[in-house]
Amino acid sequence: MRETVFGAYGLTKRYRKTVALDCVDMAVKKSDIYGFIGENGAGKTTLIRILSGLAMKTSGEISLNGESAEREVARQRQRVGFIVETPAAYPYMTAAENLEVQRLQRGIPGKSCIERSLKATGLSDVGKKKARDFSLGMKQRLGLAMALLSEPEFLVLDEPVNGLDPTGIVEFREILKKLNKERGVTILISSHLLSELYMLATCFGFIHKGKLLEQISVAELDERCKKHLAIKVDDPGKAVFLLENKLLIKRFEAMPNKTIKVYERLGESALISRELILGGVMVEDMTTKGDDLEAYYMRLIGGNSNA
């Protein structure tokens, strides 16, 4: 079983009367790319801020690399790269100077990491331009350069592609994929761009109104989202026989609630229905089901929230 890099156990955060996080249990496993999904105000940033040490929890526990004592968690943060909302930089410093401050704060020996991070994020050519003159996209890149400076084992990214142009988003995704694949970097990433998250993440956590609704792997998600015909019948055994022998359908799945999920010939529902009825099977219901990540999320939270 893979080790848990970050764990939250009954994590709760209250701001006066508002509950931002309500007893959240969550686990990010080593080498995962964890897509953290929720609408505005769902609690994503609050959880990331507690993880980064920017905000204090009201109750519950967090663990980082297996450590849960406050002092040890603070120490473990050295091994984590963070981008929390819009990256913060010293406006009167250049990109390299900002990275030098980070290098000193994290106690990273040698200055080669600065050049490497600038190169990896496409900021090698900014020269003496001060951070205050950077575009939003450049600031995002600088934030990523800061996060990558210590060659972290765990990256925590809160809305990291905000402000990036489409090319920047693709580049960003490729950098993260490469880090995950080549160095096994664990990534916790929140984003409103669900299609982008789907291309990147290996598992997902859905948070809504401060509660973590579900954590699933991408395989489980695909399984649940897969397009299929859901046929509810009175006699599943007979229906399976007819599907296999009469309709020559191979890809189907019999569920315990007398429903059969059929994954092929989805456009021939009328024919399937007729053959089942002619074979003496009562078809109680037949619908086409299957979601993309966005639809799945919307169905999960049961509304039209702004994801």
Partner 1 sequence: MLKQIRAEFLKLRKSSGFLTIAVVMLVIAGFMSRLYMSAADPVTGYEAFKRAITTVELQILFVGIFAAVFICDEFQNRTIGASVYGGNGRLSVVIAKLVAFFSGVLVVAAVFLAIIIITLSIVNGFGEELTTSTTLWLCQAVFLYLLGCVAMASFSAMISYIAKSVLETAIFCIGLTYGVVFVAMRGPENIGKLTFIWHMAKIQNLAGTSGMFLSVAVFLATILVTGYAAYAVFKRTDLK
Helices (H), the chain: 44-52, 70-76, 95-106, 112-120, 136-148, 166-183, 194-200, 218-225, 236-245, 269-278, 293-301
41 binds partner 1 (CB under 8 A): no
Taking the least distance from each CB to partner 1, the nearer of 156 and 225 is 156
Taking the least distance from each CB to partner 1, the nearer of 54 and 219 is 54
How big is the CA angle at 252 (ends 297 and 229), to the nearest 5 degrees?
A: 50
255 binds partner 1 (CB under 8 A): no
- The token pair that represents 283 in the structure block: 């078809």
Q: Cα 274 from chain centroid?
A: 43
Taking the least distance from each CB to partner 1, the nearer of 190 and 259 is 190
Site for partner 1 in 258-287 (CB under 8 A): none
> By rule CB under 8 A, what string of x and - marks binding of each residue 175-214 to partner 1?
----------------------------------------
Among 75, 181, 251, 274, the residue binding partner 1 under the rule CB under 8 A is 75
Least Å distance, CB 80 to partner 1, is 7
* Total binding residues toward partner 1, as defined by CB under 8 A: 32
Per-residue b/e over 18-45, b at no fewer than 16 CB within 10 Å? ebbbbebebbbbebbbbbbbbbeebbbb
Among 14, 23, 53, 124, the residue binding partner 1 under the rule CB under 8 A is 53
Among 104, 125, 127, 167, the residue binding partner 1 under the rule CB under 8 A is 104
245 binds partner 1 (CB under 8 A): no
Residues forming beta bridges with residue 287, ordered by sequence position: 230
How big is the CA angle at 20 (ends 15 and 26), to the nearest 5 degrees?
A: 135
Taking the least distance from each CB to partner 1, the nearer of 20 and 194 is 20
What is the rounded distance in angstroms from the CA atom of residue 45 to the CA atom of residue 22? Answer: 14
What is the rounded distance in angstroms from the CA atom of residue 23 to the CA atom of residue 59? Answer: 8
- The token pair that represents 144 in the structure block: 């990523």
Which window, 78-86, 165-173, 183-191, 249-257, contacts partner 1 (CB under 8 A)? 78-86
| Exposure on the CB side of residue 124, measured as CA atoms within 13 A | 8
77 binds partner 1 (CB under 8 A): yes
295 binds partner 1 (CB under 8 A): no
- The token pair that represents 279 in the structure block: 């074979």
Among 40, 78, 287, 288, the residue binding partner 1 under the rule CB under 8 A is 78
Backbone angles phi, psi at 81, to 5 degrees: -100, 135
69 binds partner 1 (CB under 8 A): no
Taking the least distance from each CB to partner 1, the nearer of 137 and 143 is 143
Exposed / middle / buried, residue 8 (Cβ in 10 Å: 0-12, 13-18, 19+): buried
- The token pair that represents 201 in the structure block: 């993440």
Place of tokens 């096994």: 184
Least Å distance, CB 218 to partner 1, is 28
Least Å distance, CB 54 to partner 1, is 4
Site for partner 1 in 121-150 (CB under 8 A): 146
Which window, 84-92, 172-180, 187-195, 231-239, contacts partner 1 (CB under 8 A)? 84-92
Least Å distance, CB 217 to partner 1, is 28
Interface with partner 1 by CB under 8 A: which residues?
49, 52-56, 71, 74-80, 82, 84, 86, 88-93, 97, 100-102, 104-107, 146
